Amino acid sequence: MFNSKIIIGGDKFDSKDSKRVVIKSPTDGSEIGTTELATKEQVDEAFKSAKQAKDGWMNTPLYEKYQIFKKISDELNERKQEIAKLITEEISKPLKDSISEVERSADFILSVAELKRSQNGKSNSGDSMKGYLKNQKTSIVEMIPVGVVLCISPFNYPINLSVSKIAPALIGGNTVVFKPSSQGSLSGYILAEIFNKYLPSGVINFITGAGSEIGDYLIEHEDLDMINFTGSTEVGQHIKKISKVPYLLELGGKDFAIVSNNANIEKSVKQIVQGAFSYSGQRCTAVKSVLVIDSIYEEFMTMLKEETMKLTVGNPIDNTNISCLINMKAADFAEELANEAIAKGAKPSWEPKREDNLVYPLILEVSDITTRILFEEQFAPILPVYKVSSIDEAIHLANRSKYGLQADVFTNDINEAFNMARKLEVGTVQINGKSDRGPDNFPFLGIKASGSGTQGIEESIKAMQREKVIVINL
């Protein structure tokens, strides 16, 4: 049994209420560890610790920060097999993908530090303005930290989507209170331990607990200066309503793939299958609905079914393509959407199959536009496909979605590709490729119900800093 603790000021604590939750493997239900449930008093202590450490960390020379980040990155790489195995046990992610997540996170940390070393402030000169300014002025614009940042990460990328918040916050001079999802908290604890091993006390504090108990208390805390959150749209909208500080939100997605009659069908199919079924579809950037031009529909569907049938299903430690969903609730919701679609005339590619929270891959040929799964985020390996008569119809349907994260367009006509890209109401359009997060130096953003603010290495650092202007009168 792996037992995670609360980390405040570099020290480890149990819950003051002696409450903890057992973390079970989604794959077989076995108990793999426990996580402490922090009290509101411990939340106060975490923020106090971060606030006290703020000035010292802000004034730490950049070269020292770089050396710390290098050590953290190196340790993640050295321990990637151990950490990846825990990720796989905790969230049922294929082992090879868990290893890749740790490697990517280590690279991200180093890239953040290297970029910050090359960033400079700026200066402006100003002459007299019609007699209003008597003297020449020069301004120096410095980027300074916002203060204490609350970093909240989801279950599906417990290392990478934590690092993508923590590293830019820290390199920008902020201190952090880090709260992971309960399912993912064991992996998050290992990450917090590694950061605390090299950072001064209080620079990063690790809090675990039920969102229903301490969620709002964290978000509304008087010592909080900014929120960086990845999770459901429902929780993100709640943060928008009650937050009194700036926020960076990465929320849900309903990423449509549009396949033109000018597309390379074989390439489109391979990309869509990878995009829809990787990690069982439990990704905000997963391909979640496909719109296909009617003239190529039959050929596309034949190839799509053949490619999907190649997917392997089973234990993630064996690097299968499809593994258990995170819990029974997720599987129940996926089955509900599939059943509703079939009741409305959708044609399943084969007999739907489910074993507890293991949902087998399924393609649904949807004919009724009111079918929920066309527009609701399924977060499961079930892919709806709908036949359209024109690209304009496809764009209209995709833009009906309340989400606006990414969209994929498949066509060999570059003019058609850019025309579609400009009309789609999303943060990112992928041309001839599956929706995806990254490379990490690219901006990453969602509009509408998919988020607020822009992430990426450079963008995240800037988002968690503010400008300070110093004016020299000459």
| Catalytic site residue from 284, 365, 376, 458 | 284
Question: CA 429, CA 416: separation in Å to the nearest integer?
Answer: 13
Structure tokens at 186: 């064991």
Residue 26: CB atoms within 10 A of its CB come to 25
Whole-number Å distance between alpha carbons of 146 and 46: 17
Catalytic residue among 36, 101, 250, 458: 250
Q: Which residues contact 40 (CB under 8 A, 6 or more apart)?
A: 214, 217
All residues at 6 or more sequence positions from 99 whose CB lies less than 8 Å from its CB, including other chains = 80, 81, 84
HSE at residue 277, side-chain half, CA atoms within 13 A, is: 27
Q: Is residue 324 flagged as an active site residue? A: no
Pairing of strands 175-179, 148-152: parallel
Task: Give me 133's structure tokens.
Answer: 């300014």
How far apart CA 99 and CA 65 sit, in angstroms, is 26
For the beta carbon of residue 246, count every other beta carbon within 10 angstroms: 16
Examine the residue annotation and report whether 151 is marked as an active-site residue of this protein.
no
The CB density around residue 242, as the number of other CB atoms within 10 Å, is: 10
Q: What is the dihedral of CA 343, 345, 351, 357, to 10 degrees?
A: -50
The answer to whether 455 touches 405, Cβ cutoff 8 Å, is no
CB atoms near residue 290 (< 10 Å): 28
How many other C-beta atoms lie within 10 A of the C-beta of residue 338?
Answer: 22
Closest residue by Cα to residue 400 from 261, 250, 289? 289
In terms of phi and psi (left: phi > 0; alpha: psi -120 to 50; beta: otherwise), the region of 448 is left
Q: Catalytic residues, which ones?
A: 250, 284
